[in-house]
A and B are shown apart, each in its own frame.
Chain A
Amino acid sequence: MERIRPETEEELAEAVRGAEGPLRIVGGGTRGVDCRDDLPELSAGGLSGITLYEPGALTLVVRAGTPLAEVEAVLAEEGQRLPFEPSDMRALMGTEGMPTIGGVVAANVSGPRRVQAGACRDSLIGVRFVDGRGDVIRSGGRVMKNVTGYDLVKLMAGSHGTLGVLTEVAFKVLPAAETVAQVEISGLSPARAVQVMAAALATPCEVSGAAWLSGTGRVLLRLEGFEASVDYRTQNLRLALADYGRAEIRADSAQVADMWRELRDVQPFAGRAGDVWRVIVKPTDAPLAAEALEAEEVILDWGGGLIWALMPEGTDARARLSGIAGHARLVRAGPETRGRIPAFAPEPEPVAALGAGLRRRFDPRGILNPGLMG
């Protein structure tokens, strides 16, 4: 299929204005965007580079096609990082190429630190994008407190290229942690695990990751920060959780960081047969949902608020979860399943109508990723 890869915002706007039919909008193409692959591809990958980085103001402005790895490297040089811990889905999805920062924003990719530092959309402070008319629109800016006009920044995060093509994104960044440690408790059922995670997240220990893996039955609780502080909080957390079982401390920073990278990227499901679902529930509903799913394996992240489920091929997880509040997205599946089960969770009518109305106004010709997001 045809590939359009503009190198400037103006060229990108021109490409959208001049488009004669629907386009498939991609960043690095690593997250398996579930859109018709017979369409001409418009990639933002050519718009690359850091526009502005002020470590002393915790702000970063970057063109949308910049590889995520480059963004992270630039931040790391100054001892800073993206707070929301974006994943790399290549291994899980079996894709190649480079994840881009625009793709991260378009999918609102938020890793395990979601419980403490918020989602991608919470760190996003500004966007520039080209709407379906080919107009360049700007919202937000480069300052972290800004209530000037409607917050289209949030609207663009997670809109998967259906309202506009991102050309530039701005973030509030944070200091990277000096050290990281982990408190672990083994042999827990999902119900017990969610109780442990809720208890940990209710302490002032600033837990920055709370996950449970059905493969090992182990709860992992992550603590980050200055070394002395992490030591102190780790001990405190272990004491606070004494009633739940023997808590062990893992203090090897590099090892803990690796474990959370694997978890972030859903590595345990990579290369394994089956469909992958991503389920959002109220954390205390996670045990019930995990049971109802009858999955081959689950990972509870975000204290239970996020369930990654490895399901037998072709299973409709949504049907199994009926009656449990929340929503489920089909992340990885074969073409037959994807043809039969919508990837994105359907929304109740009045809300869906608002979404459809926004889409018609931002993309009146219906050319941006048609069919995606319902």
Chain B
Amino acid sequence: MEMPLPDPALCADKAGIVARLKAVLPGDAVIDDPFETRAYECDALTAYRCLPLCVVLPASTDEVSAVLKICHEAGVPVVPRGSGTSLAGGAMPTADSVVLGVSRLHDVLEVDYENRFIRVQSGRTNLSVTGAVEEDGFFYAPDPSSQLACAIAGNIAMNSGGAHCLKYGVTTNNLLGVKMVLMDGTVIELGGPFMEQPGYDLLGLICGSEGQLGVVTEATLRILPRPEGARPVLIGFDSNEVAGACVRDIIRAGVLPVAIEFMDRPCIEATEAFARPGYPDCEALLIVEVEGSEAEIDHQLSLIRDIALRHEPVELRESRSEAESARIWLGRKSAFGAMGQISDYMCLDGTIPVSALPEVLHRIGELSKEYGLGVANVFHAGDGNMHPLILYDANKPGDLEKCEAMGADILRACVEAGGCLTGEHGVGIEKRDLMSVQFTPEDLEAQMRVKDVFDPKWLLNPAKVFPLEASASRRTAGKAAA
């Protein structure tokens, strides 16, 4: 993975840039000691690290604007950062960049149950948004697995999903408005507590733009009344094909579960060894969760049971209580931790059409043999979002490169099957150079034209999302203009 060479003039002027930033921020909001900036050298894609020029932690929209104005004038690239949980390297700095962290923007600004929204500062964590409204029976739906730590700012940048997207959608479907700062310091507001915005859907464009169009400082989010209850059923099968067919039939029957999770044998075995959830010994396992009142849950689960039984499952276990539900979810929720116990792993995020599930799993198996690296599959089957975990040894020279090459092949297979490179993690640096597998030069050009409008000098998170050679002329021209 390559990054553009840092601008030596900017690196040489570090002291000058830091001084200008310190002039508009409180002393402790500018971090330039390399020992302290180390905490910001990478995000959750830890294989790649780089110290930035400095880190700023503004505490208001005005401070964000002041910082961006200075960087804009000086031509300094800015890397926005939520909580640093990106698995795609979205928040990885370059040596000539300023990292702008939103962690001090964490307040709840407004809660409005009548209009069903909450307005928060963007550094607030995902789970604490729900935390602010749950006592009153509401919740915020997107639930990425990093929800305890990840910030709303990052959720918006990556258009984060979670396990319950089949019913509630992803971030973009639950975001009503933002206040954001453009690279030149201009503050704008898009949307608000409304169900539609005038003009173009710029809010939809911002969501998932990976911090390349502006820095979001406030977000208006839709909140929903919590359902009366939810219960899962666990179904084991002796082949991936049959599990895939069962998912298809459940969806066709008109049941809309809130989650359909899938695990394959390597993943089942690892979680069984790690957390002992008591999963059956089988090739493929589904966890299907439905919501509603007790009677509604019973009805939906009975429909699912009838469908599943037609596929001759090796086991079918319906939860009857909170404890049983927790036990069924235990293995799934500890899957990543379990794999981490066994080995280093790389987590992929391609999405495929649900119908292509058996063929893509088969292809992943072949690649696993070819490369000699193990793979465990755990994913959101209802929406086709796969998370193959490729196991490798970080201490073995060449293993990471082998793992990345295999990951790229798996993602190519996802695109060939009619899917995409990333369902919820984002492109970042990780999938940047694969973008041309999914998009034509014209497609990428259209996307880059959007960035030209919002950030003409290409200073915001510039070396991400687009293949370096595709964005090279723009980044160079931007630098010259700056």
Contacts and interface: CB of A to CB of B under 8 A. Distances in A.
A69 interface: no
A154 B196 contact: no
Contacts of B192: 282, 325
Given A146-B351, A147-B159, A147-B208, A57 B251 contact: yes
B421 A148 contact: yes
A305 B385 contact: no
B292 A327 contact: no
Contact of B115 (A136, A152, A284): A284
B200 A358 contact: yes
A148 B198 contact: no
A358 B446 contact: no
Contact of B198 (A110, A150, A306, A327): A327
Contacts of B247: 56
A141 B427 contact: no
Contacts of A110: 196
Given A282-B194, A362-B446, A178 B186 contact: no
A229 B256 CA distance: 13
A51 to B, nearest CB: 11
A302 interface: yes
A152 B420 contact: no
Interface stretch (A14-22, A263-271, A343-351): A343-351
Interface stretch (B27-35, B95-103, B167-175, B472-480): B167-175
Given A149-B435, A151-B159, A174-B256, A302 B195 contact: yes
A119 B175 CA distance: 12
Contact of B195 (A59, A114, A152): A114
A159 B435 CA distance: 26
A198 interface: yes
B200 A155 contact: yes
Interface stretch (A201-209, A248-256, A291-299): A201-209
B199 A141 contact: no
B420 A146 contact: yes
B202 A355 contact: yes
A144 B199 contact: no
B2 to A, nearest CB: 19
Given A57-B353, A147-B425, A155 B443 contact: no
Given A142-B353, A149-B439, A352 B199 contact: yes
Interface string A53-67: 011111100000000
Interface in A257-312: 280-284, 302, 305-306
Nearest to B190: A351
Nearest to A202: B225
Given A58-B251, A137-B446, A143 B202 contact: no
A118 interface: yes
Nearest to A229: B296
A371 interface: no
B444 A361 contact: no
Contact of A228 (B208, B296, B451): B296
How many of chain B's residues touch chain A, expressed as a range? 35 or more
A122 interface: yes
B444 A56 contact: no
A344 B199 contact: yes
Contacts of B114: 195, 198, 202, 283-284
A176 interface: yes
Interface in B423-482: 423-427, 431, 435, 438-440, 442-447, 449-454, 465
Which residue, of B159, B227, B292, B449, has the highest number of chain A Cβ atoms within 10 A? B449
Contacts of A55: 251-252
B449 A362 contact: yes
B355 interface: yes
A139 interface: yes
A201 B450 CA distance: 37
B160 to A, nearest CB: 8
A332 interface: no
B329 interface: no
Which residue, of B113, B190, B444, B453, has the highest number of chain A Cβ atoms within 10 A? B453
A145 B353 contact: no
A121 interface: yes
Contacts of B454: 354
Contact of A204 (B112, B228, B419): B228
Nearest to A228: B299
Interface in A145-192: 145-155, 157-159, 163, 174-176, 178
B253 to A, nearest CB: 8
Contacts of A373: 199-200
A90 interface: no
Contact of B296 (A232, A284, A354): A232
Interface string B296-326: 1001100000000000000000000000000
Interface string A336-366: 0000000011011011101101100110000
A306 B198 CA distance: 13
A280 B351 contact: no
B424 A147 contact: yes
A138 interface: yes
A284 B354 CA distance: 41
Contacts of A245: none
A176 B253 CA distance: 10
A228 B165 contact: no
Nearest to A329: B198
A239 to B, nearest CB: 13
B359 to A, nearest CB: 14
A276 B188 CA distance: 30
A131 interface: yes
Interface in B252-268: 252-256
Contacts of B227: 204
B75 to A, nearest CB: 21
Given A57-B248, A143-B420, A204-B228, A79 B207 contact: no
B209 interface: yes
B226 interface: yes
A30 interface: no
A228 B298 CA distance: 11
Contacts of A7: none
A237 B170 CA distance: 28
A115 B189 CA distance: 23
Contact of A157 (B201, B225, B252): B201
B380 A145 contact: yes
Nearest to A203: B225
Contacts of A155: 200-202, 204-205, 450
B154 interface: no
B424 A229 contact: no
Interface in A45-89: 54-59, 78-79
B204 A350 contact: no
7 contacts: A135-B442, A143-B423, A145-B383, A148-B420, A202-B137, A229-B296, A350-B188
Given A202-B137, A361-B450, 15 more contacts: A121-B201, A122-B169, A137-B442, A141-B418, A143-B423, A149-B427, A149-B439, A195-B114, A226-B254, A351-B189, A352-B199, A354-B188, A358-B450, A373-B200, A374-B199
Closest 3 CB pairs of A and B: A154-B204, A56-B248, A175-B254
